[in-house]
Amino acid sequence: MQLFIQLQQRNKSRSNGKGILTKAVQCLKCADAPCQKSCPTNLDIKSFITSIANKNYYGAAKMILSDNPLGLTCGMVCPTSDLCVGGCNLYATEEGPINIGGLQQFATEVFKAMNIPQIRNPSLPPLEDMPEAYHVKIALLGAGPASLSCASFLARLGYSNITIFEKQEYVGGLSTSEIPQFRLPYDVVNFEAELMKDLGVKIIFSKGLAMDGMTLRTLKEDGYEAVFIGIGLPEPNRDSIFQGLRMDQGFYTSKDFLPLVAMASKPGMCACHSPLPSIHGTVIVLGAGDTAFDCATSALRCGARRVFVVFRKGFTNIRAVPEEMELAKEEKCEFLPFLSPRKVVLRGGQIVAMDFVRTEQDNDGNWKEDEDQVVRLKADVVISAFGSILSDTKVREAMAPIKFNRWGLPEVDPETMQTSEPWVFAGGDTGGLANTTVESVNDGKQASWYMHRYIQSLHGVAVSTVPELPLFYTPIDLVDISVEMAGLKFPNPFGLASATPTTSSSMIRRAFEAGWGFAVTKTFSLDKDIVTNVSPRIVRGITSGPMYGPGQGSFLNIELISEKTAAYWCKSIAELKADFPNHILIASIMCSYSKEDWTELSKMAEVAGADALELNLSCPHGMGERGMGLACGQDPELVRNICRWVRQAVQIPFFAKLTPNVTDIVNIAMAAQEGGADGVTATNTVSGLMGLKADSTPWPAVGGGLRTTYGGMSGNAIRPIALRAVSAIARALPGFPILATGGIDSAESGLQFLHSGASVLQVCSAIQNQDFTVIDDYCTGLRALLYLKSVEELEDWNGQSPATMQHQKGKPVHRIADLMGKKLPSFGPYLEQRKKIIADYKIKLKEQSMAAVLPEKKHFIPKKPIPAIKDVIGKALQYIGTYGELCNTEQVVALIDEEMCINCGKCYMTCNDSGYQAIQFDPQTHLPTVTDSCTGCTLCLSVCPVIDCIRMVSRTTPYEPKRGLPLAVNPVC
């Protein structure tokens, strides 16, 4: 019999970092994204996938949990194909839709591993200073998804006396008792409940409606001003043909079977140590919903030899989501449509078979049963999954005086979730409106706002009908990322570069409203130097191969400076500073090599109210032909003189924008410093020719003559050049302010520039790939990176990325060599051998009891000061030096993890034809082996498609280079 735990990691959406990042980058991040409109909780899917693509997993989790407090649960069990994924615009492309549920699960799992508590909204007053209305008693009945969601949002709103009453000894409701462990582990449900409890919500177990005299009336008498009912539908909908049948005869309802499976397989759910239900032979599962398929796949894990899922209608009428049906199909469950149960056949008091009649649909669409077509199926066990009802008379009486509808459920306003009693609200299965976990979560979310309105109205406070629910917060959100440079205080280090995102003042206005810390205007000139652009002029790069859509690794442009006048920009600067006094606005200006021109234009910008100036001495195309831009920036003497002229003309800080198209950028930076500049911007775009078509014509091609010119390349492709420039200037001119630009597309890449010596960061290409909203991701990502530096328990993480576990397809794997004494690859017949060996090993572990109680929750608390931006500036410079400073005696070699290896042979190929022939490739097993001749060049790691499958480890023997022929003299080094 298979061990239940064998497929605990079965969930379809699990993946490793590479697969997740690939899908996240593939996402289009659409305008007015249809996936978000398809989500019941209205998750900002575009934003959280943006964060995942930028490896800002905290930012992604924050976005998810802000809208859905059960974001991890829903990432694992949500019927995404019917919701968000079903609305994905990529359905219309060859790539197909994004696995949104998998991305959601991954981000929230990484956040779960961070082990950081939820905190109250930082903008709220302390608890003791909150108005009286926020201290009223609020009761929630049942600890299922709807109640957990409702309580979370009420606590975020500031309510401090919230109690959940749960009749069982565990949280989660049906998420715990009826969704199997391999789809939704209990520690996930518990994690989300603990986040809620971080805000002070109390849970009282073994207490609920109709227990110990608890009724709505007694709650009212006990002083509860508002109640939310989220008790689900506790009783099974039991067909009359099953009356009198018992479990010992082989009959279960889903309400019997799934909780038994859960208690036996979910560590921490209870302390009962109960065994799995003993299922044998053939099992018939009746029903076509998600619960029926959960019963079917669980029955297999409990020992069933064959499982038949039998339902009344056809495949096109199955209510279960496609993912559930596909999982059951993959696990060899059989499907039998068009059958309606008629009779259970017993022999010796045990089930031996079931009789069915054929169902058919007439021309009017009505379903009819044909008594002439009878089918008998042999079976040892029958599991009925015909839904749930609220039939307990005592519970219904305890809900008096609320009114019930014709389905026997409370009458609920679908907008407010209010019952016939204004102080009583209901949601989830109890409300009759939700069919899925995510819809139950949204019921609780919706009810929380209207409970808030109701409570505040009792205390004379009017609240908007439009919900304004608080976000999810943790200590990470308290990290200060402001920075001072050249006497200027930046609210955050991220700003708009002087480029297409600052084409007009209205664009800068929207950027400031979005949260950008500063902006550099599009470069403007005196009217005598005004320009007119050509078209086409901005094209996608080819540095990332045939990638189309967003996520371009580079752009090339032949766009000139602003077509707008200096008067327009000076007026815009004055207006923007009046409306955004706390944001830094830098005017980018350009002139020819003329003291009068630089003096006139710089004074105009200063008078307009600019906080600082950026002298564009680096535009690589077009302007140089006019004696401007690059023509001035490549000569240290010209740079020095221009900076002197501007220094004499203005009092505000100014920065020289440098070009990378020089032999030594440090000389240019030194000249700017000597001329009186307060800092430099490094760097502008790299001059280049992006590409030629097969017919030799260029792109971009202008006019009928298809002419082009060398343009400026930007984006991630020039990041190494920009990092080199920034770090070289910082090493040569310690303390000299640097504004970095060139391939900054995330908090992680921004931190690289800060570590290299930059103080603030300018962004352009990343906005061209998306829009101004990326600033939220950058700020939360940077806060998280700084915060995590202070958490000792996460020291082995790389930024926000956990250490890579040994895995295949994102799932943990066992070392086959340890189990059987030899290595096995992961393809063809070898893969089947691996599966059998692992299954046998897990069966041996079956007798080992699982932990009955989850470990006590202890959050990771920073034990070191959380660094400020100023603390990380230049931190990497100590590691950068000359080649002569590198050690050639401390060598490394490659180490391949055979369990993670997918046997592609890429390491062997690159080592054989581009390296040192130090990897052998077994022609039978396709397992690569590193030999003693490895020189540690790291080519193999660089081309390996599996993250961390190859690691470079210290060499244990002296390194002896292969010289080809003996040395004639002793080497110097």
Task: Report the C-alpha gap between 156 and 640 in whole angstroms.
Answer: 56
Residue 404, amino acid = F
With CA atoms as reference, report the closest residue to 523 among 622, 596, 594.
622
Instruction: Count other Cβ atoms within 10 Å, centred on residue 84.
Output: 26
Placement of tokens 């002087």 in the chain: 498
Q: Per the omega criterion (within 30 degrees of 0), is the bond before 700 cis?
A: yes
CB 665 within 8 A of CB 729: yes
Instruction: Count other Cβ atoms within 10 Å, centred on residue 386.
Output: 20
Q: Output the six-digit token pair for 101.
A: 């549920």
Placement of tokens 């709650």 in the chain: 219
Q: Kindly state the DSSP code that residue 418 receives in the 8-state scheme.
A: B
Instruction: Count other Cβ atoms within 10 Å, centred on residue 296.
Output: 28
* 555: three-class secondary structure by DSSP: strand
CB 788 within 8 A of CB 797: yes
C-alpha 368 chain-centroid distance: 48
Task: Look at the alpha carbons of 311, 316, 322, 325 in this order and tell me if their dihedral is positive or negative.
Answer: positive
Write down how long the chain is. Answer: 973
Q: Output the six-digit token pair for 493.
A: 């280090």
Collect all residues with Cβ–Cβ distance below 8 Å to 150 and sequence separation of at least 6: 140, 228, 230, 425, 427, 443, 444, 445, 447, 448, 451
**Which residues sit opposite 384 in a β-bridge?**
253, 286
Task: Report the C-alpha gap between 387 and 563 in whole angstroms.
Answer: 67
* 762: three-class secondary structure by DSSP: strand
End-to-end CA distance of the chain: 65
Task: Report the C-alpha gap between 300 and 298 in whole angstroms.
Answer: 5
Placement of tokens 């001035």 in the chain: 632
State how beta strands 162-166 and 137-141 pair. parallel
Task: Report the C-alpha gap between 35 and 770 in whole angstroms.
Answer: 17
Specify whether 619 is catalytic.
yes
With CA atoms as reference, report the closest residue to 126 among 134, 118, 117, 136.
134
CA distance readout (Å), 143 to 193, 337, 449: 9, 36, 19
CB 253 within 8 A of CB 238: yes
Task: Spot the catalytic one: 27, 295, 619, 911.
Answer: 619
Longest CA pairwise span in the chain (Å): 109
* 911: three-class secondary structure by DSSP: helix
Catalytic center residues: 619
